[in-house]
């Protein structure tokens, strides 16, 4: 078994929403216009995946060295890496991540997934593969036709206006998602925050999970509590202090560290209130 790739750990660490487990150990994944069915027990060799999914699962990156460096930091990180050693940071579509993480604000994962599937069914293109119908994530051109009412029918709630603003700004060129690949993380964050409803946490998730900007440490109330428990003796710290500490301590591997810690703490119910 490839100890650097575990499909369940990768899908269940908070970075992706368009997947399900219709039968035990088998995952159904949709990304943009692509549909894949993979079994966690037999499909653990990325070299056997086609080009799209190999790239999606970040097949070119050597995670052995990343894990070695992070594990040497301290016992907490070592435990997290050992526990979630098969996590890989996905290389996802920027447009899909922009809309998905706008929807994620103050929202639970089951609701996020349902809203995204509703949007895909209402505005995306219907396709078929492996004998199953599925809907692609809507393109900018498709979603820009949405209305507040239509989006609210998709159960996005107050986020409808943010989605429409994202559609407008990407459609008219105010935001060029391809340009972000060439920006440093700070400039890219400020650039994305021109979109209504996109704050530091949402932009950091987009930058990490779409652009692989690994000097990013997405910080919300949950990861803040984890960091306080592991590194600050449970004493409350500001979000900025947590983020600054993580970037200084983990450096260019901060994004990977966040994913290992998030998965380890969540699966083991650490510091849960």
> What is the DSSP secondary-structure string of 128-180?
EETTEEEEPPPPHHHHTT--HHHHHHTT-GGGHHHHHHHHHHHHTTSS-GGGG
What sign for the dihedral angle of Cα 78, 82, 86, 87?
negative
* Rounded Cα distance, 224 and 237, in Å: 8
CA dihedral of residues 204, 209, 213, 214 (deg, nearest 10):
90
Pair 243, 53: CB distance under 8 Å? no
* Rounded Cα distance, 68 and 230, in Å: 20
* Rounded Cα distance, 175 and 32, in Å: 20
**If you search the block for the tokens 């399900």, which residue do you land on?**
20
The radius of gyration of the chain from alpha carbons, rounded to an integer in Å, stands at 18
Share of the chain above pLDDT 90, in %: 93
Which among 59, 77, 58, 57 has a CA at the least distance from the CA of 68? 77
Pair 115, 155: CB distance under 8 Å? yes
pLDDT computed for residue 3 by the predictor: 81
Does the annotation count 201 as an active-site position? yes
Stretch 96-117: mean pLDDT? 97
User: pLDDT digits over 139-175, tens only?
Assistant: 999 999 999 999 999 999 999 999 999 999 999 999 9
Mean of all residue pLDDT scores within the chain: 96
* Rounded Cα distance, 236 and 136, in Å: 42
34-39 vs 19-23, strand pairing mode: unpaired
Query: With 90 as the cut, is the pLDDT of residue 130 above it?
Result: no
* Rounded Cα distance, 36 and 101, in Å: 22
pLDDT computed for residue 221 by the predictor: 86
Q: Does domain 94-209 have CATH number 1.10.10.10?
A: no
Between these two residues, 129 and 67, which has the higher pLDDT value? 67
19-23 vs 132-135, strand pairing mode: unpaired
**Catalytic option among 67, 113, 201, 224:** 201
pLDDT computed for residue 157 by the predictor: 97
């Amino acid at each position: 078994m490839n100890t650097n790739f575990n499909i369940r750990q990768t899908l269940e660490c908070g970075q992706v929403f368009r997947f399900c487990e219709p039968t035990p150990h088998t995952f159904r994944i949709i990304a943009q216009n692509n549909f894949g069915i993979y079994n966690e027990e037999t499909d653990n060799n990325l070299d056997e995946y086609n080009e799209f999914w190999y790239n999606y699962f970040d097949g070119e990156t050597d995670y052995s060295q990343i894990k070695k460096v992070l594990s040497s930091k301290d016992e907490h990180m070592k435990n997290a890496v050992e526990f979630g050693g098969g996590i890989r940071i996905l290389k996802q579509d920027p447009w899909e991540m922009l809309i998905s993480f706008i929807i994620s604000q103050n929202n639970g994962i089951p609701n996020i997934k349902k809203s995204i599937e509703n949007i895909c069914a209402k505005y995306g293109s219907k396709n078929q593969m492996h004998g199953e119908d599925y809907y692609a994530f809507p393109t900018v051109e498709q979603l820009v036709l949405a209305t507040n009412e239509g989006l609210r029918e998709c159960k996005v709630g107050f986020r409808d206006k943010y989605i429409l603003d994202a559609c407008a700004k990407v459609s008219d060129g105010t935001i060029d998602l391809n340009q972000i690949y060439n920006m440093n993380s700070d400039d890219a964050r400020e650039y994305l925050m021109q979109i209504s409803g996109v704050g530091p946490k949402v932009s950091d998730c987009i930058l990490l999970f779409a652009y692989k900007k690994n000097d990013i440490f997405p910080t919300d109330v949950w990861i803040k509590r984890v960091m306080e428990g592991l590194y600050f003796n449970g004493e409350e710290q500001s979000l900025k202090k947590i983020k600054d500490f993580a970037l200084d301590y983990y450096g260019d591997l901060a994004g990977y560290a966040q994913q290992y810690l998030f998965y380890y703490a969540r699966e083991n119910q650490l510091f849960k209130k």
